[in-house]
Amino acid sequence: MGLGANRRLDSPASATAAATIDPSRGSNPGAPMHAPENLEIEEGIARFRPRGRSSLVEAVDRISGAIAFCREARVARLLVDASGFVGVSIPTLVDRFLMIEEWALESNGIVAVALVVNPEYIHERKFGVKVAADFGLVADVHTGEGEALAWLSGVRDR
């Protein structure tokens, strides 16, 4: 597994996405999976807005959990606004490769991901987006939620 080998999916469900589903795979097969905190589903698009102090590994794990939830809930589009994380280090190329590998495995070809981050987190050649394509993950990175939603709206169901 990549950076987030110790993922947790048992955080409280948000008010607007209080769905519980039965995952077909994961660390505890058969256990109900709850929507991650700060995840809302609206008009077929999941919006995950995690906040607070976090290490890079913790941030990757939380995003992996949101992708896994969307996969199991059959929500094909996920917007992750990671600009609310505090204290996350700038990922190295190896970090980017490993986190995208993990997210691609979690997506299993079902979930397209639009990631919103502060500009300093975007590699000048969008290395992560290229790696995602190589792993079969439809993904892009943006600096604003509006442009991320516009991109995500153009992604066809898989």
Domains of the chain: residue spans and CATH: 22-153 (3.30.750.24)
What is the predicted pLDDT for the residue at 1? 39
pLDDT, tens digit, 9 for 90 and up, residues 4-55: 433 333 333 333 333 433 334 444 444 456 788 889 999 999 999 999 999 9
Q: What is the pLDDT of residue 30?
A: 47
The contacts of residue 19 (CB under 8 Å, 6+ apart) are 13, 34, 35, 41, 73
Q: What is the pTM of this model?
A: 0.79
Give mean pLDDT, residues 125-150. 97
Instruction: Note the pLDDT tens digit of each residue in 96-124.
Output: 999 999 999 999 999 999 999 999 999 99
The predicted structure's pLDDT at residue 9: 33
Q: What's the confidence (pLDDT) of residue 90? A: 97
The whole-number pLDDT of residue 37 equals: 87
CA distance 59 to 75: 21
Note the pLDDT of residue 36: 85
Task: Judge contact between 80 and 66, C-beta under 8 A.
Answer: yes
Paired sense of beta strands 112-116 and 52-53, if any: unpaired
Q: What is the mean pLDDT of residues 58-70?
A: 97
CB 48 within 8 A of CB 66: yes
pLDDT category at 158 given cuts 50, 70, 90 is low
Single-letter amino acid code for the residue at 51: R
